[in-house]
Structure 1
């Protein structure tokens, strides 16, 4: 198990990688540039990560795990499945608003990093997100809240709608993510509920 100092150093490198990816782009995110941002030598990165692929995967895992930890309490507090779906959308947007660099960084990696192992990690993460939404929708259908439809299709649509908000926000800083969440929730509730709320 890594020592506290080793864990802290890894987090320092991850934070530097996030900053470079978010502010300078994927093409600039060399190990040398990330090391310079972190105020360390390139060899220190090589000590903690076998290669760039491993470092980028660590960045991705860090952001995904942090987002999950942020969202979980809100989902637990939301109550019924329909409210949990609304909470899923709302607090995804809230996490974006509070962690812009992190979301931009993993977006840069997802779009540009073609390593097969990383793409497999990305595919698993996407599938897990869809499974969470699908299970919430199916629970809402079983409870009589939501009408009958293919839950997996709507799960994919909701996930893509959230992803599109990040794409829009990346280019339009003034985008109101709270209002964006409100409109998405209203849209999906009207489309999914048996009776309009």
Structure 2
């Protein structure tokens, strides 16, 4: 059970942040190595060289540790990807950057990604529902849909209905997320090569057909 903390000095607060970061780092390593089910608070404490009491001082439960890991991995991914994507100025390049930066983050943070897939795949609410995999939450699809709509407006991508844009976004996200599971099974996976191939495949699928462009040019001429 998480205890009430006394008021702290700045030095004490900094030490607390350092300790929490250590616990989360070791928790990620433990989950990536042993799997979600075996990554108990006791295992995390033993690997960190601290007592279980130190962990429960900072985190009320294993669930709270898992929630913090999910939050931190997603936030770290955004920090990694955003500047790469924002350097690009046209839809084709932005979509390629979105795909390749997603996978580059995975390659650079394998333990984080393996731990994330373990948590998302196994954590449950008391009624048995997945704790993190909410199929009704389309927020992760929205960036892809927006890029596709932008490319449609510029003429680089084909026309999409609301339904087909959502299908395309789900397909791409499923392919990207699938790499995380492959990476867990194969530490030597060529993620950079996978990213290049996935980008080419998806761009080929969403680009405006050449015959449409040629027909439009002839009609204008």
TM above 0.5: yes
The answer to whether residue 22 in structure 2 is matched with residue 12 in structure 1 is yes
Which of 25, 29, 48 lines up with 2:39 in the alignment? 29
Which of 80, 101, 107 lines up with 1:70 in the alignment? 80
After TM superposition, give the deviation of residue 61 of structure 1 in Å.
0.7
After TM superposition, give the deviation of residue 121 of structure 1 in Å.
4.4
CA contact (8 A) 1:81 1:136 kept: yes
TM-score normalized with structure 1 length: 0.91
CA contact (8 A) 2:124 2:131 kept: no
Aligned residue pairs, count: 196
CA contact (8 A) 2:121 2:130 kept: no
Distance in 2 of aligned mates of 1:187 and 1:116 = 41
TM-score normalized with structure 2 length: 0.82
Q: State the superposition RMSD in angstroms.
A: 2.3
Which of 86, 96, 110 lines up with 1:100 in the alignment? 110
Bigger helix share: 1
Query: 1:48-63 residue pairs with structure 2 within 5 A?
Result: 48-63=58-73
Residue aligning to 2:166 = 152
Distance 1:66 1:172, change over 3 A: same
> Which structure has the larger Rg over C-alpha atoms?
2
CA contact (8 A) 2:23 2:48 kept: yes
1:88-134 deviation per Cα after TM superposition (whole angstroms, max 9, x unaligned): 11011111111100000011001111126994544389632211111
After TM superposition, give the deviation of residue 36 of structure 1 in Å.
1.2
Q: Which ranges in structure 1 are unaligned for 5 or more consecutive residues?
A: none
Residue aligning to 2:187 = 173
Residue aligning to 2:201 = 187
Residue aligning to 1:83 = 93
Residue aligning to 1:110 = 120
